[in-house]
Structure 1
Amino acid sequence: MMQNFDKKRSRLFAFPARTIMISFVLVILVGSVLLMLPFSSKSREFTGFLDALFTATSATCVTGLIVFDTFTHWSYFGQVVILSLIQVGGLGLVTLTSFISMAIGRKMGLRSMQLAQESVNSSGLETAGNMVRMVVKTSMAFELLGALLLCITFVPQYGLEGVWISVFLSVSAFCNAGFDILGRQTPYISLCNYNGNLMVTGVIMALIIAGGLGFYVWQELFAYFRTKKLSLHTRVVLIVTGILIGAGFLVFAVFEWNNPATMGGLSWYEKFTGALFQSVTLRTAGFNSVPTDSFRPITEILSGLIMLVGAAPGSTAGGIKVTTLAVLMMTIVSVARGRDDTIILKRRINKETVYKSLTIILIAIMAVATAAGVMVGTMGESHSITGSQSFFEACSAFATVGISCGVTGMANIPSKIVLILLMFLGRVGPVSFVLSFAAKPASNKKEVIPEGRIMVG
């Protein structure tokens, strides 16, 4: 009997991707139970399971969509639970446990190293341990520096409680989570009262970008003064991230500049900083410095498309990833030029990467379209939810952005369930999610299969 149990357990954890996915599920379930407890809420009443599950999923998957204002509903204990889920979700349970094991001197076996490699997207087993250390230490350094800078604003305003606000916002921003505890001013206000205050929004933007670039990129940037080299991956991440931030800025500057419900009543400086902040937060952060429930439909659609991309692989963010978009776009360019291979910055991309990119994008489109359809179908008549709003919310959930146009706050049970699934899928990654259900590991042995021909185009 024990042998059968061990065999089933071994089969269950056969894939690193499956183990990591299960670790996320366990963290979410533990967080849900803790958030349900009476002392997690300020009213000292039980929170319903679905709402607790939604909040725990949003925090662990570093999304930021909320069904309750974080400050007004959750007690300090509940806020600590949420922040802990954000930290664990941003870095990954496997990454943190691997770091602790190494810190106490415990030797890691082959399987543990494979898990660590998968968790931090390391290039090999021999570098996985160093990568884990770098991930945790870099995260702590950025979060500490961010908290200290935010204290300059919040400690004079709130006294010692400003330290907690600064720490919460810093961790939430670096992990690209988008949760805040500024509802003490006005529920769901986020950073709207600090638009134009670069000591707040500037620090938050820097933390969002730092967390979204990915730890592999930071490793190369730290070593650049010594090596004077950047890999293709790092160059693509930096270029595409810059392009997307610029594109997002233009979307808000063009379509929301004179919108009286969002940026129309602000000064030109506040409009500029507001448009820039909203563009950066589309990189999967979830904060907002202008009202997001009054965007024009065209802004919702274009923002949704930009959000869908997400940030970089190996970062604290979700989405289809900037490198995936780069591979897709350059594949289109290469086909248009009559090339057989995808070329990026004078480098050929292997077919496996191209196929994986296309698979990720197709799964993302199907997931977002299905979720948007569910929300419109179940909420459209009763809450007057438009197609652009449901698309915006679905993209926000899948890309773990967390910006809401008001749909989440009035979501019914089916809509909450699909948003939970979208947040989870976006955080663990579509391919990892699919591979975790495979019956057995993929074999390197190539099958000899007859070639078939079909017409396309």
Structure 2
Amino acid sequence: MQRKKYYLDPPKILVLGFAAIILLGCLLLTLPVSTVNGHGLSFLNALFTATSATCVTGLVVVDTGTAFTLFGQLVILFMIQIGGLGFMTFATLFAFLLGKRISLKERILLQESLNNLSMEGIVRLARRILIFTAVIEFVGAVILAIRFSYEMPLGKAIYFGIFHSVSNFNNAGFDLIGHFQSLTTYVDDPTVVLTICALITLGGIGFIVMNELYDYRHSKRLSLHTKIVLVTSGFLLIGGTIGIFLLEFSNEKTLKPLTFSGKILGALFQSVAARTDGANTLNLTDMTQSSLLLIVFLMFVGASPGSTGGGIKTTTFTTLIGAVWSQIRGKEDVIFYRQRIVYETIYKALTVTFSALFLVMTITLLLTITERGTDFLRLVFEATSAFGTVGLSMDLSRELSPLGKALITFTMFAGRVGPLTIAYAVTIRRNPDSFRYPKGKIMIG
């Protein structure tokens, strides 16, 4: 009798891999050596923090700069780096160092992990990702260390520079400033603001786009994917900056006290950070509701595919806009740059967006039950931030009930690996239909 073979497909491996890293980080953060008080974090707080770090979110229930020892901070930093690049990229790094050949199964996992359309050149892409990451994080760390050296000892400035460079390139937003104030003291500091904005943007456009831009000097061409990512990212960045600038211009608690250049820097940073980085230079609780709703939208869209950020992704958003516009114009096809988007892509965009909306709405509904008396906008903001792996919070994370923390922890995990990936992972088998039913007609609109 032949024994049935069981195997794990890529979605299952990715879900289990992230879960394993989170669990390991959680256990390390519960150790007495991880916290300043010598007691370690409680299991729930450690799980929340480990999930936030591995899923590069940035939501915190304890202050990173004051609650953790150097060991605890390094554990968080290591989880941020693995979570941002993906554990398969890290596994590939060790394979390179050991001179090990990358197997076909590992290449398939890399393709799934990086959300790449093709397996061709996937190992070369992984190698370049590691190089891009090392160079960008090094340059960012040097600039920030020089800036921090003006207000702290050189050794501490170097450590701060490295931590904040890695954290923000991976769109995590963890900081060491202390007292839950994030980067608010640097709201009008051009060196800190522009450097971190550059790190967030580079981490958020995706490694596939970064690789094509690097090769452009030779190829002189960009794919449709890269064109859509760059145009959509630019539109959201500029639109978000202008929107926050106008909505907060006369707000006494945010932009009004700043100089004109300070106002631009404040609006720019908050627009960039809302695209999946948890750092902030403006106090979110002081912002107008209009600005907060705009930030919720930016967080929901998020970064781009194959990046260190979350959200439904820029390409998903643009595909849906294109589909709506084509329907309004009575066109059958969705066209971008004289290329037709296949129906499978449009269906996937609809599925991703609906799944994300369903998740955010469900978590918000549950939070209204567990966090009774909390303002509804704060709950929507927290749920969207967790799904988009953004990490911005209206000072709600540390006030959550145990059940509320568990809900946000799950949402961060689902937002990082993707609702569809989790759905595929828990599905036993996905077989295509061997037949098609007759067409049916229903009225829409």
Match of 1:80 among 74, 83, 86: 74
Are residue 437 (structure 1) and residue 429 (structure 2) matched? no
Closer, same or farther: CA 345–79 of 1 in aligned 2, 3 Å: same
2:389 aligns with 400
Q: Is the 8 A contact 1:300 1:389 kept in 2?
A: no
SS in 2 for 1:125: coil
1:174 aligns with 169
1:335-389 Cα offsets, whole Å, 9 max, x none, are 11111222223211011110010001001111111122222232232xxx22222
2:11 aligns with 17
2:62 aligns with 68
**Counterpart AA for 2:71:** F
1:293 aligns with 285
**Given the two structures, how large is their TM-score scaled by the length of structure 2?**
0.96
SS in 2 for 1:25: helix
SS in 2 for 1:279: helix
1:213-260 Cα offsets, whole Å, 9 max, x none, are 101001110111111111110010001001111121122112212222
1:441 to partner: Cα distance: 4.1
1:105 aligns with 99
1:40 to partner: Cα distance: 0.4
Percent identity for Structure 1 against Structure 2: 38
2:189 aligns with 197
1:234 aligns with 226
Structure 1 unpaired stretches of 5+: none
Match of 1:57 among 35, 51, 65: 51
Match of 2:273 among 267, 271, 281: 281
1:417 aligns with 406
1:142 aligns with 136
1:436 to partner: Cα distance: 1.2
SS in 1 for 2:443: coil
Runs of 4 or more above 6 Å deviation: none
- Mapping of residues 265-344 of structure 1, within 5 Å: 265-344=257-336
- Mapping of residues 1-40 of structure 1, within 5 Å: 7=5, 10-11=6-7, 13=8, 15-40=9-34
1:154 to partner: Cα distance: 1.3
2:245 aligns with 253
CA distance in structure 1 between the aligned counterparts of 2:235 and 2:425, rounded to whole angstroms: 33
Q: Is the 8 A contact 1:120 1:131 kept in 2?
A: no
**Counterpart AA for 1:275:** A
CA distance in structure 2 between the aligned counterparts of 1:424 and 1:289, rounded to whole angstroms: 26
Q: Is the 8 A contact 1:297 1:389 kept in 2?
A: no
**Counterpart AA for 2:162:** V
Q: Is the 8 A contact 1:173 1:285 kept in 2?
A: yes
CA distance in structure 2 between the aligned counterparts of 1:120 and 1:176, rounded to whole angstroms: 16
Match of 1:48 among 42, 55, 68: 42
CA distance in structure 1 between the aligned counterparts of 2:56 and 2:431, rounded to whole angstroms: 30
Closer, same or farther: CA 123–367 of 1 in aligned 2, 3 Å: closer
CA distance in structure 2 between the aligned counterparts of 1:441 and 1:138, rounded to whole angstroms: 36
Structure 2 unpaired stretches of 5+: none
SS in 1 for 2:335: strand
- Equivalent pairs counted in the alignment come to 442
**Counterpart AA for 2:411:** L
CA RMSD of aligned residues (A): 1.4
CA distance in structure 1 between the aligned counterparts of 2:370 and 2:90, rounded to whole angstroms: 40
SS in 1 for 2:279: coil
CA distance in structure 1 between the aligned counterparts of 2:219 and 2:157, rounded to whole angstroms: 41
CA distance in structure 2 between the aligned counterparts of 1:377 and 1:386, rounded to whole angstroms: 12
CA distance in structure 1 between the aligned counterparts of 2:391 and 2:251, rounded to whole angstroms: 22
CA distance in structure 1 between the aligned counterparts of 2:44 and 2:129, rounded to whole angstroms: 32
SS in 2 for 1:395: helix
Q: Is the 8 A contact 2:141 2:158 kept in 1?
A: yes
Which segment drifts farther, 33-42 or 295-304? 295-304
1:273 to partner: Cα distance: 0.6
CA distance in structure 1 between the aligned counterparts of 2:171 and 2:87, rounded to whole angstroms: 16
CA distance in structure 2 between the aligned counterparts of 1:133 and 1:441, rounded to whole angstroms: 32
CA distance in structure 2 between the aligned counterparts of 1:300 and 1:123, rounded to whole angstroms: 35
Q: Is the 8 A contact 1:371 1:418 kept in 2?
A: yes
